[in-house]
Structure 1
Amino acid sequence: MEKSYKEIMPQINTFIFDVDGVLTNGLITITTNGELIRNMSVKDGYALKTAVDSGYNVCIISGGSNEGVRARLEGLGINDIYLGTHTKIVQLNEYLSKNNINPENVLYMGDDIPDYPVMKIVGLPCCPKDAVSEIQGIAKYVSQKKGGTGCVRDVIEQVLKVQGKWTQQFNAQTD
Protein backbone atom coordinates (compact mmCIF):
# COMPACT_ATOMS: atom_id res chain seq x y z
CA MET A 1 0.00 0.00 0.00
CA GLU A 2 1.27 3.46 -0.93
CA LYS A 3 2.22 5.79 1.93
CA SER A 4 0.21 8.95 2.54
CA TYR A 5 1.99 12.28 2.37
CA LYS A 6 1.82 12.59 6.18
CA GLU A 7 3.67 9.26 6.50
CA ILE A 8 6.42 10.51 4.16
CA MET A 9 6.94 13.89 5.84
CA PRO A 10 9.06 12.55 8.76
CA GLN A 11 11.80 11.44 6.32
CA ILE A 12 12.06 14.75 4.40
CA ASN A 13 15.39 16.56 4.75
CA THR A 14 15.40 18.42 1.43
CA PHE A 15 13.01 20.91 -0.15
CA ILE A 16 13.23 21.66 -3.87
CA PHE A 17 10.96 24.18 -5.57
CA ASP A 18 10.17 25.47 -9.01
CA VAL A 19 9.73 29.25 -9.25
CA ASP A 20 7.09 30.30 -11.79
CA GLY A 21 3.70 28.98 -10.74
CA VAL A 22 4.99 27.80 -7.34
CA LEU A 23 6.90 30.66 -5.69
CA THR A 24 5.01 33.04 -7.99
CA ASN A 25 1.45 33.05 -9.26
CA GLY A 26 2.72 32.30 -12.76
CA LEU A 27 1.89 35.75 -14.09
CA ILE A 28 4.66 37.92 -15.50
CA THR A 29 4.38 41.69 -15.88
CA ILE A 30 6.43 42.93 -18.79
CA THR A 31 7.61 46.54 -18.59
CA THR A 32 8.11 48.73 -21.67
CA ASN A 33 11.86 48.08 -21.54
CA GLY A 34 11.28 44.30 -21.51
CA GLU A 35 11.92 43.68 -17.82
CA LEU A 36 9.95 40.74 -16.42
CA ILE A 37 8.41 41.35 -12.99
CA ARG A 38 7.21 38.55 -10.71
CA ASN A 39 5.46 38.60 -7.34
CA MET A 40 6.40 36.32 -4.45
CA SER A 41 4.70 35.77 -1.10
CA VAL A 42 6.56 36.96 2.00
CA LYS A 43 4.96 34.03 3.85
CA ASP A 44 6.69 31.64 1.46
CA GLY A 45 9.92 33.59 2.02
CA TYR A 46 9.62 33.27 5.78
CA ALA A 47 9.09 29.52 5.52
CA LEU A 48 12.06 29.11 3.14
CA LYS A 49 14.32 31.03 5.53
CA THR A 50 13.03 28.98 8.46
CA ALA A 51 13.80 25.75 6.58
CA VAL A 52 17.34 26.96 5.79
CA ASP A 53 17.89 28.10 9.38
CA SER A 54 16.60 24.74 10.64
CA GLY A 55 19.27 22.86 8.67
CA TYR A 56 17.25 21.54 5.74
CA ASN A 57 18.66 21.38 2.24
CA VAL A 58 16.77 23.96 0.15
CA CYS A 59 17.20 24.12 -3.61
CA ILE A 60 15.53 25.99 -6.46
CA ILE A 61 15.35 24.53 -9.97
CA SER A 62 13.65 26.77 -12.52
CA GLY A 63 13.44 27.20 -16.25
CA GLY A 64 13.28 30.97 -15.76
CA SER A 65 16.44 33.01 -15.49
CA ASN A 66 15.49 36.26 -13.74
CA GLU A 67 18.41 37.57 -11.67
CA GLY A 68 16.00 39.44 -9.39
CA VAL A 69 14.59 36.06 -8.40
CA ARG A 70 18.12 34.84 -7.64
CA ALA A 71 18.82 37.90 -5.48
CA ARG A 72 15.59 37.41 -3.49
CA LEU A 73 16.31 33.72 -2.86
CA GLU A 74 19.96 34.33 -1.94
CA GLY A 75 18.70 36.94 0.53
CA LEU A 76 16.73 34.15 2.22
CA GLY A 77 19.92 32.09 2.61
CA ILE A 78 19.36 29.70 -0.29
CA ASN A 79 22.66 28.82 -1.96
CA ASP A 80 21.57 26.14 -4.42
CA ILE A 81 19.70 28.08 -7.10
CA TYR A 82 19.59 26.72 -10.62
CA LEU A 83 17.94 29.10 -13.08
CA GLY A 84 17.57 28.67 -16.83
CA THR A 85 17.33 24.89 -16.40
CA HIS A 86 15.30 23.30 -19.16
CA THR A 87 15.92 19.66 -18.27
CA LYS A 88 15.17 19.70 -14.55
CA ILE A 89 15.81 15.99 -14.02
CA VAL A 90 19.46 16.43 -15.03
CA GLN A 91 19.90 19.28 -12.56
CA LEU A 92 18.09 17.33 -9.85
CA ASN A 93 20.29 14.28 -10.28
CA GLU A 94 23.46 16.42 -10.18
CA TYR A 95 22.26 18.19 -7.01
CA LEU A 96 21.32 14.94 -5.26
CA SER A 97 24.62 13.30 -6.21
CA LYS A 98 26.73 16.31 -5.20
CA ASN A 99 25.04 16.50 -1.79
CA ASN A 100 24.61 12.74 -1.22
CA ILE A 101 20.81 13.07 -0.90
CA ASN A 102 18.44 10.15 -1.38
CA PRO A 103 15.48 11.04 -3.65
CA GLU A 104 13.12 9.49 -1.07
CA ASN A 105 14.08 12.28 1.35
CA VAL A 106 13.10 15.04 -1.08
CA LEU A 107 9.92 17.12 -1.20
CA TYR A 108 9.61 18.72 -4.64
CA MET A 109 6.90 21.20 -5.56
CA GLY A 110 6.17 21.93 -9.19
CA ASP A 111 3.19 23.05 -11.21
CA ASP A 112 3.66 22.21 -14.88
CA ILE A 113 4.87 19.60 -17.37
CA PRO A 114 8.64 20.37 -17.03
CA ASP A 115 8.34 19.28 -13.38
CA TYR A 116 6.83 15.88 -14.23
CA PRO A 117 10.06 13.81 -14.57
CA VAL A 118 11.41 15.18 -11.26
CA MET A 119 8.15 14.55 -9.44
CA LYS A 120 8.16 10.92 -10.58
CA ILE A 121 11.35 10.11 -8.63
CA VAL A 122 11.19 12.15 -5.41
CA GLY A 123 9.74 10.88 -2.14
CA LEU A 124 7.09 13.59 -1.79
CA PRO A 125 5.91 15.24 -5.02
CA CYS A 126 3.68 18.23 -4.26
CA CYS A 127 1.95 20.95 -6.21
CA PRO A 128 -0.11 24.10 -5.73
CA LYS A 129 -3.89 24.01 -6.07
CA ASP A 130 -3.70 25.56 -9.56
CA ALA A 131 -1.11 23.17 -11.04
CA VAL A 132 -1.94 21.54 -14.37
CA SER A 133 -3.96 18.33 -14.18
CA GLU A 134 -1.05 16.06 -15.16
CA ILE A 135 0.97 17.34 -12.21
CA GLN A 136 -1.96 17.12 -9.81
CA GLY A 137 -2.37 13.53 -10.98
CA ILE A 138 1.10 12.47 -9.77
CA ALA A 139 1.34 14.72 -6.69
CA LYS A 140 1.05 12.97 -3.34
CA TYR A 141 -0.02 16.29 -1.86
CA VAL A 142 -1.93 19.13 -3.54
CA SER A 143 -1.82 22.30 -1.45
CA GLN A 144 -5.05 24.20 -0.93
CA LYS A 145 -3.02 27.33 -1.78
CA LYS A 146 -2.35 28.50 -5.32
CA GLY A 147 1.12 29.24 -6.64
CA GLY A 148 2.56 32.46 -5.20
CA THR A 149 -0.02 32.61 -2.42
CA GLY A 150 1.53 30.48 0.31
CA CYS A 151 1.73 26.94 -1.11
CA VAL A 152 5.46 26.79 -0.29
CA ARG A 153 4.77 27.92 3.28
CA ASP A 154 2.04 25.26 3.48
CA VAL A 155 4.34 22.32 2.71
CA ILE A 156 7.35 23.57 4.66
CA GLU A 157 5.26 24.32 7.73
CA GLN A 158 3.62 20.88 7.59
CA VAL A 159 6.96 19.06 7.36
CA LEU A 160 8.52 21.09 10.16
CA LYS A 161 5.46 20.55 12.37
CA VAL A 162 5.47 16.78 11.76
CA GLN A 163 9.19 16.73 12.63
CA GLY A 164 8.71 18.91 15.72
CA LYS A 165 10.84 21.75 14.34
CA TRP A 166 8.24 24.44 13.61
CA THR A 167 7.90 25.75 17.16
CA GLN A 168 11.66 25.62 17.85
CA GLN A 169 12.01 28.98 16.10
CA PHE A 170 9.55 30.61 18.53
CA ASN A 171 11.49 29.34 21.52
CA ALA A 172 14.76 30.67 20.07
CA GLN A 173 13.25 34.14 19.66
CA THR A 174 12.07 34.31 23.27
CA ASP A 175 15.34 33.13 24.88
Structure 2
Amino acid sequence: MLDKLKNINTFIFDVDGVLTNGHVLVTETGEQLRQFNIKDGYALQLAVKKGYNIIVISGAKSSGVEKRLLGLGIKHIFLGVSDKMAVYHQLIKEARLKADDFLYVGDDIPDLAIMKLAPLAVCPSDAVEEIKEAAHYISPKAGGAGVARDIIEKVLKIQQNWFDAQPSAHDGAISR
Protein backbone atom coordinates (compact mmCIF):
# COMPACT_ATOMS: atom_id res chain seq x y z
CA MET A 1 0.00 0.00 0.00
CA LEU A 2 2.84 2.41 0.81
CA ASP A 3 4.02 2.27 -2.80
CA LYS A 4 0.64 3.67 -3.92
CA LEU A 5 1.23 6.80 -1.82
CA LYS A 6 4.29 8.00 -3.78
CA ASN A 7 2.30 9.88 -6.44
CA ILE A 8 -0.73 11.09 -4.47
CA ASN A 9 -1.35 14.81 -4.95
CA THR A 10 -5.08 14.93 -4.22
CA PHE A 11 -7.09 13.85 -1.20
CA ILE A 12 -10.87 13.52 -1.45
CA PHE A 13 -12.75 13.34 1.87
CA ASP A 14 -16.27 12.78 3.08
CA VAL A 15 -17.20 14.88 6.14
CA ASP A 16 -19.48 13.12 8.63
CA GLY A 17 -17.75 10.05 10.05
CA VAL A 18 -14.44 10.95 8.39
CA LEU A 19 -13.49 14.56 9.17
CA THR A 20 -15.95 14.54 12.08
CA ASN A 21 -16.77 11.83 14.61
CA GLY A 22 -20.17 11.33 12.98
CA HIS A 23 -22.10 12.73 15.93
CA VAL A 24 -24.48 15.62 15.32
CA LEU A 25 -25.57 17.75 18.26
CA VAL A 26 -28.89 19.42 17.53
CA THR A 27 -29.56 22.58 19.52
CA GLU A 28 -32.98 23.78 20.64
CA THR A 29 -33.02 26.15 17.65
CA GLY A 30 -32.32 23.27 15.24
CA GLU A 31 -28.69 24.15 14.56
CA GLN A 32 -26.59 21.06 13.89
CA LEU A 33 -23.13 21.05 15.45
CA ARG A 34 -20.26 18.75 14.48
CA GLN A 35 -16.94 18.05 16.14
CA PHE A 36 -13.62 18.17 14.21
CA ASN A 37 -10.21 16.96 15.36
CA ILE A 38 -7.52 19.64 15.64
CA LYS A 39 -4.77 17.21 14.57
CA ASP A 40 -6.71 16.43 11.39
CA GLY A 41 -6.99 20.19 10.89
CA TYR A 42 -3.23 20.65 11.17
CA ALA A 43 -2.57 17.95 8.58
CA LEU A 44 -5.22 19.34 6.21
CA GLN A 45 -3.86 22.89 6.32
CA LEU A 46 -0.28 21.62 5.95
CA ALA A 47 -1.25 19.60 2.87
CA VAL A 48 -2.87 22.70 1.36
CA LYS A 49 0.23 24.76 2.22
CA LYS A 50 2.44 22.16 0.53
CA GLY A 51 0.38 22.34 -2.68
CA TYR A 52 -1.77 19.23 -2.37
CA ASN A 53 -5.39 19.36 -3.51
CA ILE A 54 -7.94 18.74 -0.80
CA ILE A 55 -11.47 18.08 -1.99
CA VAL A 56 -14.49 17.54 0.24
CA ILE A 57 -17.70 15.87 -0.96
CA SER A 58 -20.51 15.53 1.55
CA GLY A 59 -24.23 15.02 1.68
CA ALA A 60 -24.33 17.31 4.69
CA LYS A 61 -24.95 21.02 4.22
CA SER A 62 -23.69 23.12 7.09
CA SER A 63 -22.35 26.66 7.20
CA GLY A 64 -20.22 25.68 10.21
CA VAL A 65 -18.58 22.85 8.26
CA GLU A 66 -17.98 25.14 5.31
CA LYS A 67 -16.42 27.82 7.54
CA ARG A 68 -14.13 25.26 9.18
CA LEU A 69 -12.94 23.91 5.84
CA LEU A 70 -12.44 27.36 4.32
CA GLY A 71 -10.48 28.33 7.43
CA LEU A 72 -8.10 25.44 6.76
CA GLY A 73 -7.53 26.74 3.22
CA ILE A 74 -9.65 24.13 1.46
CA LYS A 75 -11.23 25.59 -1.67
CA HIS A 76 -12.89 22.60 -3.31
CA ILE A 77 -15.89 22.03 -1.06
CA PHE A 78 -19.04 20.27 -2.27
CA LEU A 79 -21.71 20.17 0.45
CA GLY A 80 -25.35 19.08 0.23
CA VAL A 81 -24.45 16.59 -2.50
CA SER A 82 -27.11 13.94 -3.13
CA ASP A 83 -25.17 12.19 -5.92
CA LYS A 84 -21.54 11.88 -4.82
CA MET A 85 -20.71 9.74 -7.85
CA ALA A 86 -21.68 12.53 -10.28
CA VAL A 87 -19.43 15.01 -8.44
CA TYR A 88 -16.64 12.42 -8.32
CA HIS A 89 -16.76 11.85 -12.09
CA GLN A 90 -16.94 15.60 -12.74
CA LEU A 91 -13.86 16.17 -10.56
CA ILE A 92 -11.84 13.44 -12.26
CA LYS A 93 -12.70 14.88 -15.67
CA GLU A 94 -12.19 18.57 -14.84
CA ALA A 95 -9.07 18.12 -12.71
CA ARG A 96 -7.70 15.48 -15.11
CA LEU A 97 -6.83 13.23 -12.20
CA LYS A 98 -4.88 10.12 -13.08
CA ALA A 99 -5.49 6.88 -11.23
CA ASP A 100 -2.33 7.13 -9.14
CA ASP A 101 -2.82 10.83 -8.28
CA PHE A 102 -5.56 10.64 -5.68
CA LEU A 103 -7.26 8.77 -2.90
CA TYR A 104 -10.75 8.83 -1.41
CA VAL A 105 -11.66 8.56 2.26
CA GLY A 106 -15.20 7.48 3.15
CA ASP A 107 -17.00 5.68 5.94
CA ASP A 108 -20.58 4.74 5.02
CA ILE A 109 -22.86 3.41 2.28
CA PRO A 110 -23.13 6.73 0.34
CA ASP A 111 -19.36 6.39 -0.24
CA LEU A 112 -19.42 2.77 -1.39
CA ALA A 113 -19.69 3.29 -5.16
CA ILE A 114 -16.76 5.72 -5.12
CA MET A 115 -14.76 3.46 -2.81
CA LYS A 116 -15.12 0.64 -5.35
CA LEU A 117 -13.81 2.88 -8.17
CA ALA A 118 -11.15 4.89 -6.36
CA PRO A 119 -7.57 3.87 -7.11
CA LEU A 120 -6.84 4.08 -3.39
CA ALA A 121 -9.82 3.77 -1.04
CA VAL A 122 -9.26 4.61 2.62
CA CYS A 123 -11.60 4.39 5.60
CA PRO A 124 -11.55 5.01 9.34
CA SER A 125 -11.48 2.11 11.78
CA ASP A 126 -15.14 2.65 12.66
CA ALA A 127 -16.44 2.59 9.07
CA VAL A 128 -19.33 0.26 8.24
CA GLU A 129 -18.40 -3.27 7.16
CA GLU A 130 -19.21 -2.76 3.46
CA ILE A 131 -16.79 0.16 3.33
CA LYS A 132 -14.07 -1.78 5.16
CA GLU A 133 -14.43 -4.56 2.57
CA ALA A 134 -14.00 -2.03 -0.28
CA ALA A 135 -11.05 -0.20 1.34
CA HIS A 136 -7.43 -0.69 0.34
CA TYR A 137 -6.37 0.79 3.68
CA ILE A 138 -8.25 0.83 6.98
CA SER A 139 -6.77 3.45 9.26
CA PRO A 140 -6.33 2.52 12.91
CA LYS A 141 -7.94 5.91 13.65
CA ALA A 142 -11.67 6.48 13.91
CA GLY A 143 -13.59 9.10 11.98
CA GLY A 144 -13.00 12.55 13.46
CA ALA A 145 -10.21 11.11 15.61
CA GLY A 146 -7.21 11.30 13.31
CA VAL A 147 -8.03 9.36 10.14
CA ALA A 148 -7.32 12.42 7.95
CA ARG A 149 -4.06 13.08 9.81
CA ASP A 150 -3.08 9.41 9.47
CA ILE A 151 -3.37 9.22 5.68
CA ILE A 152 -2.07 12.74 4.99
CA GLU A 153 0.94 12.16 7.24
CA LYS A 154 1.73 8.86 5.51
CA VAL A 155 1.60 10.46 2.06
CA LEU A 156 3.61 13.53 3.01
CA LYS A 157 6.25 11.48 4.86
CA ILE A 158 6.72 9.09 1.94
CA GLN A 159 7.08 12.10 -0.35
CA GLN A 160 9.45 13.76 2.18
CA ASN A 161 7.02 16.67 2.53
CA TRP A 162 5.85 16.28 6.13
CA PHE A 163 8.20 18.65 7.92
CA ASP A 164 7.22 22.33 7.94
CA ALA A 165 10.03 24.78 8.71
CA GLN A 166 7.45 27.39 9.78
CA PRO A 167 4.57 25.49 11.38
CA SER A 168 1.40 27.42 12.08
CA ALA A 169 -0.49 27.25 15.34
CA HIS A 170 -3.52 28.68 13.54
CA ASP A 171 -6.42 26.28 14.04
CA GLY A 172 -8.37 27.22 10.93
CA ALA A 173 -11.01 29.25 12.75
CA ILE A 174 -12.22 32.24 10.82
CA SER A 175 -11.72 35.38 12.82
CA ARG A 176 -13.80 38.47 12.41
- TM above 0.5, yes or no, is yes
Higher mean C-alpha displacement, 101-110 vs 14-23: 101-110
**2:35: which partner in 1?**
39
1:141 aligned onto 2:137 = yes
Q: 1:10 aligns with which of 6, 26, 37?
A: 6
**2:105: which partner in 1?**
109
Which residue type is aligned with residue 6 of structure 1?
Answer: L
**2:85: which partner in 1?**
89
**1:162: which partner in 2?**
158
Where is the helix percentage greater, Structure 1 or Structure 2?
1
Contact (CA 8 Å) 1:12, 1:105: kept in 2 or not? yes
- Tell me the distance in 1 between the aligned counterparts of 2:166 and 2:119: 30
Which residue type is aligned with residue 30 of structure 2?
Answer: G
Which residue type is aligned with residue 31 of structure 1?
Answer: T
Q: Tell me, which stretches of 5 or more residues in structure 2 are unaligned? A: 168-176
TM-score (norm 2): 0.92
* Offset, 1:119: 1.2
Q: Report matched runs for 1:72-83 at 5 Å.
A: 72-83=68-79
Which residue type is aligned with residue 95 of structure 2?
Answer: N
TM-score (norm 1): 0.92
- Tell me the distance in 1 between the aligned counterparts of 2:147 and 2:64: 21
Q: 2:127 aligns with which of 131, 138, 144?
A: 131
Which residue type is aligned with residue 121 of structure 2?
Answer: P
Q: SS in structure 1 opposite 2:122?
A: strand
Structure 1 stretches of 4+ moved >3 Å: none
Aligned pair count? 167
For the aligned residue pairs, the C-alpha RMSD in angstroms reads 1.0
Which residue type is aligned with residue 109 of structure 1?
Answer: V
Q: Tell me, which stretches of 5 or more residues in structure 1 are unaligned? A: none
* Offset, 1:172: 4.4
- Tell me the distance in 1 between the aligned counterparts of 2:127 and 2:8: 22
